[in-house]
């Protein structure tokens, strides 16, 4: 096995290389690690990598959090305590097996450093036996969530910068796995923090639980009655306001017509759905106004159809924005390939500005616990209002698909060249499917 692919590294990946052939890369690597915690061997990592992730589903999380007693809360804390380092260990190992020139990239090295620090911190947490232990643990969780706020832009910039050093399919597989795993860890951590808040709330009485009280419609982060129509309306309104603010009030915006099963509800994490729908609607509105910007007439509406079946809720979003160009279409779901990414890469000449933006995101106010929909160039409600306008990393669509598939749904786009696009989002409405941690590439294989 080539040294840089070796699974159980005891040295930094680039230390296997001999100068002068790789001297420049080694210098770059050294500069990169100067900013990140030391790349040290960890036999503990080998141990944790042996463990399998124990998958969650929306239904399991709901049943678990429904009747919240002290002993359940502590069981939940201990599940997180073991699950988070296990899941991080797998991703650390993935990064270690990347080619050294890739891992030497400063953004990817930074993410590795964050994960290594989190792993070391999490794996040392002793069993949580009391509510005080849990309070201390929650503090660690919250701090780590905040520290990881810039992981997505870092990964996105990193994979753009290492274009050409890895095959695009490998890059996409790596990104998909990293992002799914990150969603999963944040769901687990945020769900535990939310249940702890519920438990500590002065209004918390065991009889006030959803199974006893039909008016309670959340269990931690899970909204039991997500309504697609309301989310489309909210995302549509916010997107329209922002586009108006960006293009000027004279711009003619398309209306959004919604029809179909308007009352359909299902359990979901609302911010995940807002991310996906916000992204699709923003793409549609932008395509429509760009196609017609010189016409001065009201553009045709965006048509949204909601369709409920016994297992799924399907949302079709159709626009008349001219479709997607053949140049872009084959690379639509790629994190690194295709002309739009080429453009992003050229824009990296502006890196100091972009990095300045990343720093801004770390500042107080850029609250991190919900950053899955805030810091990745996406367009959910919260990201639309807080994201600096020039931080678009071009990963909104592939990222939306990662979100859709995570809870066993799907996202497809059909482009009718010269006319418009139909986006199909399928949601598994029973919440009984396990989270999907495997990537499309490995599912397809």
Enumerate binding residues for ligand COI (CB under 6 A). Answer: 84, 118, 144-145, 148, 151, 182, 185-186, 189
d(CA 409, CA 58): 13
Residue with tokens 């891992």: 103
Instruction: Tokens for 275, please give them.
Output: 């991310």
Q: How far is the CB of 122 from ligand COI (least distance, A)?
A: 8
Instruction: Tokens for 49, please give them.
Output: 């990598």
d(CA 350, CA 358): 13
Instruction: Tokens for 180, please give them.
Output: 């799914």
Nearer to ligand COI among residue 90 and residue 229 (C-beta): 90
Nearer to ligand COI among residue 358 and residue 421 (C-beta): 358
Residue with tokens 């991310």: 275
Nearer to ligand COI among residue 151 and residue 160 (C-beta): 151
3-state helix, strand and coil shares in percent for the chain, rounded to the nearest 5: 55, 10, 35
What radius of gyration do the chain's Cα atoms show?
A: 23
Nearer to ligand COI among residue 180 and residue 436 (C-beta): 180
Residue with tokens 């899955």: 372
Nearer to ligand COI among residue 376 and residue 405 (C-beta): 376
Q: How far is the CB of 121 from ligand COI (least distance, A)?
A: 9
Instruction: Tokens for 430, please give them.
Output: 């029973």
Nearer to ligand COI among residue 84 and residue 125 (C-beta): 84
Q: How far is the CB of 357 from ligand COI (least distance, A)?
A: 19
d(CA 341, CA 319): 24
Q: How far is the CB of 372 from ligand COI (least distance, A)?
A: 8
Render 161-216 in DSSP notation, one character per residue.
Answer: HTBTTB-HHHHHHHHHHHHHHHHHHHHHHHHHHHHHHHHHSTT--GGGSTTT-TT-
Nearer to ligand COI among residue 145 and residue 232 (C-beta): 145
d(CA 280, CA 429): 20
Q: How far is the CB of 181 from ligand COI (least distance, A)?
A: 8
Q: How far is the CB of 189 from ligand COI (least distance, A)?
A: 4
d(CA 35, CA 225): 45
Q: How far is the CB of 37 from ligand COI (least distance, A)?
A: 15
Alpha carbon distance, N-terminus to C-terminus of the chain: 22
Closest residue (Cβ) to ligand COI? 148
Q: Do the Cβ atoms of 379 and 278 come closer than 8 Å?
A: yes
């Amino acid at each position: 096995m080539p040294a840089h692919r070796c699974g159980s590294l005891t040295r930094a990946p680039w230390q296997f290389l001999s100068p002068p052939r790789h001297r420049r890369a080694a210098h770059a690597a050294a500069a990169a690690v100067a900013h990140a915690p030391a790349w040290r061997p960890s036999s503990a990592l080998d141990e944790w990598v042996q463990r399998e992730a124990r998958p969650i589903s929306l239904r399991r999380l709901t049943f678990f959090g429904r009747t919240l007693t002290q002993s359940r809360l502590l069981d939940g804390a201990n599940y997180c305590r073991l699950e988070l380092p296990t899941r991080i260990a797998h991703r650390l190992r993935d990064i270690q097996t990347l080619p050294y020139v890739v891992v030497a990239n400063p953004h990817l090295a930074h993410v590795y450093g964050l994960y290594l620090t989190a792993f070391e911190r999490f794996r040392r947490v002793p069993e949580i036996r009391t509510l005080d232990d849990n309070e201390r643990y929650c503090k660690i969780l919250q701090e780590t969530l905040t520290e990881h706020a810039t992981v997505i832009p870092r990964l996105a910039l990193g994979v753009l910068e290492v274009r050409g050093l890895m095959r695009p399919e490998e890059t996409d597989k790596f990104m998909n796995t990293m992002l799914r795993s990150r969603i999963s860890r944040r769901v687990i951590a945020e769900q535990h923090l939310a249940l702890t808040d519920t438990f500590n709330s002065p209004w918390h009485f065991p009889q006030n639980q959803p199974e006893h009280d039909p008016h309670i419609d959340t269990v931690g982060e899970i909204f039991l009655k997500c309504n697609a129509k309301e989310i489309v309306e909210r995302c549509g309104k916010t997107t329209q306001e922002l586009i108006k603010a960006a293009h000027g009030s004279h711009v003619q915006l398309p209306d959004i017509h919604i029809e179909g099963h308007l009352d359909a509800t299902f359990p979901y994490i609302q911010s995940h759905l807002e991310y996906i729908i916000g992204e699709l609607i923003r793409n549609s509105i932008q395509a429509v106004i760009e196609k017609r910007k010189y016409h001065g007439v009201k553009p045709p509406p965006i048509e949204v159809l909601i369709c409920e079946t016994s297992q799924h809720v399907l949302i079709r979003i159709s626009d008349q924005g001219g479709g997607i160009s053949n140049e872009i279409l084959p690379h639509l779901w790629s994190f690194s390939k295709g002309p739009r990414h080429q453009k992003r890469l050229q824009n990296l000449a502006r890196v100091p500005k972009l990095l300045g933006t990343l720093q801004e995101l770390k500042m107080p106010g850029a609250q991190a616990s919900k950053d899955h929909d805030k810091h990745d160039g996406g367009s959910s409600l919260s990201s639309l209002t807080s994201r600096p306008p020039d931080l678009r990393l071009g990963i909104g669509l592939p990222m939306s698909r990662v979100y859709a598939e995570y809870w066993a749904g799907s996202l497809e786009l059909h482009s009718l060249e010269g006319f418009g696009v139909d986006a199909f989002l399928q949601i598994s409405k029973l919440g009984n499917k396990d989270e999907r941690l495997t990537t499309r590439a490995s599912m397809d294989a």
